[in-house]
């Protein structure tokens, strides 16, 4: 399961409820927004997830992998010249797991005028290069997280109206595609959902009735490398969590690999 939880401490009761109901073996979180020393480790362990790999900072960003299964080795990677807690890796029996929180990019889709957008593009370029140089397509891997890019036309509520909106601009899509091509990543959700069908994981807090307007975007992703494709059985998007008390603007995404 992957989820941009938008503060793990604020939404801890909801996280524990989801973990109990869905019982995923591994949970990846983004935007945990807390330093490692105040991560709710005791509560997570008590819920049945004794193996924890975290990299967090105060108030911003942060990624976590919590698991019922032992993991080793565990790595932390710094990207695009910053140490802002966006990429961790854990080894599991049979595959390597990458948890990513790609920068959102701000509001202005111009790297010359918006350093946040420039940072996002650098991050995507670096990930494409790093995977290409350090991993092979025949390596069993899973990459999950808030990629902050909705690449396909039906990953947004209006392709035409969002072409110049950060998260769906052609330059972001091109760079995410280069990252996907780096080791022949397979988009696990779109393996099941045809590209002509709408599919979202995020709805803005600005939408008073998110379900009625349904102006969503598919910003959260799970990718797998080709060796794992035969084991891919199912996906789930828990859109009902968008109605929860103190909901994140993202909802959890799960796949089953058996």
Q: What is the per-residue pLDDT for 252?
A: 98
**Model pLDDT, residue 249:** 98
pLDDT at 207: 85
CATH number at residue 19: 3.60.10.10
Beta bridge partner(s), residue 68? none
C-alpha span between 155 and 200 (Å, rounded): 6
* Residue among 4, 10, 65, 58 at smallest CA distance from 31: 4
CA atoms in the 13 A half-sphere facing the CB of 129: 8
The separation between the first and the last C-alpha atoms of the chain, rounded to the nearest angstrom, is 14
Asked if 103 contacts 119 with a C-beta cutoff of 8 angstroms, the reply is: yes
Q: Could you read off the pLDDT of 144-189 as tens digits, one per residue?
A: 999 999 999 999 999 999 999 999 999 999 999 999 999 999 999 9
What value does the mean pLDDT of the chain take? 97
**What is d(CA 208, CA 191) in angstroms, rounded to the nearest whole number?**
32
Mean pLDDT value across residues 109-122? 98
The residue segments making up the domain with residue 160 are: 2-257
Confidence at residue 178, expressed as pLDDT on a 0 to 100 scale:
98
Contact 91, 72 (CB under 8 A): yes
Q: Is the pLDDT of residue 254 over 90?
A: yes
Q: Beta strands of the chain (E only): which ranges?
A: 2-4, 26-30, 51-55, 63-67, 74-79, 82-92, 95-101, 141-146, 186-187, 202-203, 216-217, 220-224, 232-237, 253-257
| Beta strands at 26-30 and 2-4: parallel, antiparallel or unpaired | parallel
Mean pLDDT value across residues 48-53: 98
Residue 11: closest CA among 249, 221, 205: 249
pLDDT in tens, 183-212: 999 999 999 999 999 999 999 999 889 999
Query: Taking the CB of residue 88, how many other CB atoms lie within 10 A of it?
Result: 23
Percent of the chain at pLDDT exceeding 70:
100
Give the three-state DSSP class for 48.
coil
Query: In degrees, to the nearest 5, what angle opens at C-alpha 186 toward C-alphas 163 and 198?
Result: 45
What pLDDT digit, counting tens, does each position of 32-41 carry?
A: 999 999 999 9
Model confidence at 99, pLDDT cuts 50, 70, 90, reads very high
Domain count, the chain: 1
* Percentage with pLDDT > 90 across the chain: 99
């Amino acid at each position: 399961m992957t989820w941009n939880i938008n503060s793990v401490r604020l939404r801890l009761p909801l996280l524990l409820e989801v973990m109990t109901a869905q019982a995923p073996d591994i949970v990846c979180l983004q935007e945990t927004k807390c330093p490692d020393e105040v991560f709710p480790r005791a509560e997570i362990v008590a819920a049945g997830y004794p193996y924890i790999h975290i990299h967090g900072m105060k108030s911003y960003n942060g990624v976590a992998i919590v698991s019922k299964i032992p993991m080793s080795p565990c790595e932390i990677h710094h990207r695009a010249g910053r140490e802002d807690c966006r990429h961790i890796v854990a080894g599991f029996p049979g595959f390597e797991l990458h948890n990513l929180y790609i920068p959102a990019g701000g509001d202005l889709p111009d790297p010359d005028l918006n350093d946040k957008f420039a940072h996002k593009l650098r991050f995507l370029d670096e990930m494409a290069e790093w995977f290409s140089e350090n991993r092979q397509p025949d390596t069993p891997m899973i990459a999950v997280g808030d990629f902050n890019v909705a690449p396909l036309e039906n990953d947004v509520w209006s392709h035409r109206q969002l072409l110049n909106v950060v998260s769906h601009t052609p330059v972001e899509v091109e760079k995410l595609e280069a990252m996907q091509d780096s080791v022949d990543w397979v988009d696990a959700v779109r393996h099941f959902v045809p590209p002509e069908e709408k599919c979202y994981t995020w709805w803005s807090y600005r939408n008073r009735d998110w379900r009625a307007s349904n102006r969503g975007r598919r910003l959260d992703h799970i990718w797998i490398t080709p060796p794992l494709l035969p084991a891919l059985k199912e996906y789930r998007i828990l859109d009902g969590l968008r109605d929860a008390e103190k909901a994140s603007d993202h909802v959890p995404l799960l796949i089953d690999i058996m």
